[in-house]
Structure 1
Amino acid sequence: MKYQKIVLAGGNGYLGTVLAEHFKTLAAEIIILARRPVSPKGNIKTVVWDGKTAGDWVAQLTGADLLVNLCGKNVNCRYTEKNKQEIFDSRLIPTALLNRVVTEMENPPRIWINSSSATIYRHAEDRPQDELTGDIGEGFSVEVCKAWEHTFFETELPATRKIALRIGIVLGKESAVFPRLYNLVKFGLGGKQGDGEQYVNWIYEQDVARAVEWLLDNPEANGAFNCVAPNPVKNADMMRVIRKACGMPIGLPAPKWLLEVGAAIIGTETELILKSRWVMPQRLLDAGFEFRYPNVEDAIINCLK
């Protein structure tokens, strides 16, 4: 085995499942910290925690090769005051807790990758945003990301390397996004959304897992990394690619006013669709990481297999 132990905090969701599947043949043991018990599957074991208080689960972090924190309420909801508070708390409280317990450990994880989001950058249609020259944006989603990364980095852990992974929209057959886009296309509604000029920063699920493994194996890597494919596309182009892959010749567009009505009905925010996220993974590229799925056409075809 390449690694002894991988710990995935909040790893019972979609992305945690992707990472567990990737590492299960590479690690002797994978520990998922979750709120509910789950029967072991091979070398993947679930340990219960509440994400708020220290407990017996802390022992699972001892000697871990990698700790990945994926905790956070789904932002696909209306931004009511209640939901806003839950979005903040579900990210900041577990991150602060992990900082406290790791600080006190004699044999802590050697690297801690904390989930973040590429939406930390401003709405950009003029130039790409990278880790060095990108502009941090404004608004609720950005404030969440800023607070999340501040909570993560405010505690220095000399024995644990820290990386904030600014993840884009993850594409995969079971992801939160692709099945919805596929259903729109299937029913002839897969045209551009808004004016279609907004950029989509996407990444295929396998490349997320490969990037995590690459960061683990490169001891010089630390700080913030954008985890997005190197070829972002505009919304209109992405919908065209999905229509072509599905063999659907038409796709009715959804103007902004219609998206606002629809978002209110299904309980989400149009920002998730209309914000232009033109983000580049410059640090990964400069360090030599090679994406297996750099083009959205290949990623979409793989989602449909």
Structure 2
Amino acid sequence: MKQQLKVILAGGSGFLGLALARSLAARDVEVVILARAPQPAGAPGRWVRWDGRTVEPAWAWELEGAHAVVNLTGKNVNCRYTPAALQEINDSRVDSVRAIGAAIRACKRPPGAWVQSGSLAIYGDAGERECDETTAPGAGIPVDTCLKWEAAFAAEATPGTRKVLYRISFVLGHGGGALRMLVNLARCFLGGAIGSGRQYISWIHGADMIRLWERAMDDPGMEGVYNATSPGPVPNAAFMRELRRALHRPWSPALPSLLVPLGCWFLRTEPVLALTGRRGAPARLLAEGFEFHHTDLRQALRQLFDRD
């Protein structure tokens, strides 16, 4: 009888982690979610407590002989960038990477693959310039976080475990993430362009993101850094227009750049998240033959919200 595969999802209690867990469970994969919170009723997988920074036997032994470990850990960046919040944002990413690396090195049978989350924000506010995996990092607070994050991952030597890092773009899906906030704004007739509206939004449908995670686990030829974004990035004004269309909302006025800080103050977030953007390109994925199922924003949003 073929042995059941086991996949570890570190920090997998968010909406993306749960969606990936359900997809893996449907493939008869044993899913172990490492989380701070106890397992809620109806949640997929088997949950094991961890603090995201300390190597403890209770979770570390789960990696022994696993098919893959996927690290989704990191404090949400959609917050005010106080010194304490920035410290937590950075520490949550770096500490979890170091803990997983140490646990892998202690394994007699290490996981076949380590799939690490990163962010397309590493390219900074790139304007209309297309950013593929060879593009140099930008500048700013989000970039600094990404550089620390990727440096920690690169520093973890894990012989016997293949390493893949996804620079993830704006993920379109139900139940969480930044899309939920934009949906709420659009439903309140506040879904106009933000600032100039020219800043690019690179996006990926949640179903394609799940397929990328599963490909990275299963494909022995994948290694290194990949941009996890669809080949159809659009300016902010176009994104908001298509979101209003999908939600059957009328035209909404743009929010001028001077008023964005005030709106972000009420929403407890940072203007840099709304006013900057980048035009990501999945060059390596396309070169290696990955076929995105969702490349048109209008159709992707319609697929999501026609179910509502």
| Correspondence for 2:213 | 212
Offset, 1:3: 5.6
Offset, 1:237: 0.5
How does the TM-score come out when normalised to structure 2?
0.94
**In structure 2, do the counterparts of structure 1 residues 43 and 19 end up closer, same or farther at CA, with 3 Å as the change threshold?**
closer
Within the candidate set 100, 113, 116, 1:98 is matched to 100
Q: Which amino acid aligns with 2:273?
A: L
Within the candidate set 118, 123, 126, 2:125 is matched to 123
Offset, 1:42: 8.5
| Aligned structure 1 segments of 4 or more residues deviating by more than 6 angstroms | none
Offset, 1:39: 5.8
| Correspondence for 2:18 | 17
Q: Which runs of 5+ in 1 are unaligned?
A: none
Offset, 1:227: 0.5
| Correspondence for 1:149 | 150
Higher mean alpha-carbon deviation, 42-51 vs 293-302, is at 42-51
| Correspondence for 1:70 | 72
- Number of positions where the alignment pairs a residue of Structure 1 with one of Structure 2: 304
Within the candidate set 109, 114, 117, 2:116 is matched to 114
| Correspondence for 1:192 | 193
Q: Aligned residues: percent identity?
A: 38
| Correspondence for 1:267 | 268
Report if aligned partners of 1:63, 1:109 keep a CA contact under 8 Å in 2: yes
Report if aligned partners of 2:118, 2:150 keep a CA contact under 8 Å in 1: yes
Task: Write the distance in 1 (CA, Å) between the matches of 2:237 and 2:83.
Answer: 32
Task: Write the distance in 1 (CA, Å) between the matches of 2:54 and 2:169.
Answer: 30
Q: Which amino acid aligns with 1:197?
A: R
Per-residue CA deviations over 1:97-142 (Å, capped at 9, x if unaligned) read 111111121101100011100000132223210002x120111111
Task: Write the distance in 2 (CA, Å) between the matches of 1:180 and 1:100.
Answer: 36
Task: Write the distance in 2 (CA, Å) between the matches of 1:43 and 1:82.
Answer: 33
**In structure 2, do the counterparts of structure 1 residues 269 and 43 end up closer, same or farther at CA, with 3 Å as the change threshold?**
closer
Report if aligned partners of 1:5, 1:27 keep a CA contact under 8 Å in 2: no
| Correspondence for 1:181 | 182
Q: Which amino acid aligns with 1:153?
A: A
Aligned-residue CA RMSD (Å): 1.7
How does the TM-score come out when normalised to structure 1?
0.95
**In structure 2, do the counterparts of structure 1 residues 291 and 165 end up closer, same or farther at CA, with 3 Å as the change threshold?**
same
Q: Which amino acid aligns with 2:282?
A: P
Q: Which runs of 5+ in 2 are unaligned?
A: none
Task: Write the distance in 2 (CA, Å) between the matches of 1:101 and 1:217.
Answer: 21
**In structure 2, do the counterparts of structure 1 residues 252 and 40 end up closer, same or farther at CA, with 3 Å as the change threshold?**
closer
| Correspondence for 1:47 | 48
Per-residue CA deviations over 1:124-164 (Å, capped at 9, x if unaligned) read 223210002x1201111111111111111112212000011
Task: Write the distance in 2 (CA, Å) between the matches of 1:3 and 1:239.
Answer: 44
Per-residue CA deviations over 1:20-55 (Å, capped at 9, x if unaligned) read 111111143100001122168587100111122222
Higher mean alpha-carbon deviation, 242-251 vs 277-286, is at 242-251
1:170 to 2:171 alignment: yes
